[in-house]
Amino acid sequence: MSDRIMRIVVFILAVAFAVSPFFSSGFGGFYRESFPVQVSRWPAQPAGWAFSIWGLIYIGLILASGRALLQPGRTPEWGRVAQPLGISLLIGVFWIEAATRAPVLATVMILPMAAGAIIAMLRAGREWPQLLPLGLYAGWLTAASGVALSVVLTGYGLLSAGSAATLLLVAVLVTALAVAALRPAAWGYRAGVIWALIGVIAANVSANDWLVVAICGVGIILLIVGQARQWQKAT
């Protein structure tokens, strides 16, 4: 596939991804009735308002892919970004519908979706119009992958809600810190993960789940300190 055609395909997929929620009931977290094991709450799932970050992600991806389409001379690295991003977006077009109907399938889907987003971010250029939206997208999906896995493990009785949340939140933090170290300039990645962690904190403070709050708080501090050090090196 030629570079020009691939840029067009990715732009179309970014638009399709952004409009996909309008063809479903939307998504603000998994539903308890979708699972055989019913629990009162999933500690790893962020508060519903945290999902509003998708609006910013959708706009950013459309603008980034549109810029790559209209200004190919200024975005030569997009050829390396387009394939993993395109795969991620293609999965994303169908993800919300899968999440509302088949959470296990959605969990299987979100892992390559997140992997594609991370690879695209790591391959992105240094200019913020490209790196920022890809970072937000990859960062949120990193956290969302852990949330989805924790919910499925609990929903099918493989782990208690608390154990699943603790295990997967730690896994998210380890992954996020490792990915952030590979692309220190991508502060949008850290911001996406931090936003998700803030949402998790908000969902757990009212439930007095202080272990989850503490894990997320430590994660936020580590991510912020890492970013501050990167900015200090750049000055």
Q: How far apart are the first and last CA of the chain?
A: 41
List Cβ neighbours of 206 (8 Å cut-off, separation of 6 or more): none
Q: Can you give the pTM of this predicted structure?
A: 0.94
DSSP count for the chain of H helices, then E strands: 9, 0
CB 17 within 8 A of CB 61: yes
Three-state secondary structure call for residue 102: coil
Task: Give the pLDDT confidence of 174-207 residue by residue, as tens digits.
Answer: 999 999 999 999 999 999 999 999 999 999 998 9
Single-letter residue type at 8: I
pLDDT digits (tens, 9 = 90+) for 76-105: 999 999 999 999 999 999 998 888 888 899
Residue tagged 């594609």 (tokens): 116
Give the residue, 9 or 74, on which the prediction is more confident: 9
Distance CA 92, CA 82 (A): 15
Structure tokens at 32: 């308890």
Measured in whole angstroms, how far is the alpha carbon of residue 219 from the centre of its chain?
16
Is residue 162's pLDDT more than 70? yes
Gap between the Cα atoms of 3 and 80, Å rounded:
10
Q: Tokens representing 153?
A: 């493990």
pLDDT digits (tens, 9 = 90+) for 7-56: 999 999 999 999 998 887 666 667 777 788 888 889 999 998 999 999 99
pLDDT score of 114 more than 90: yes
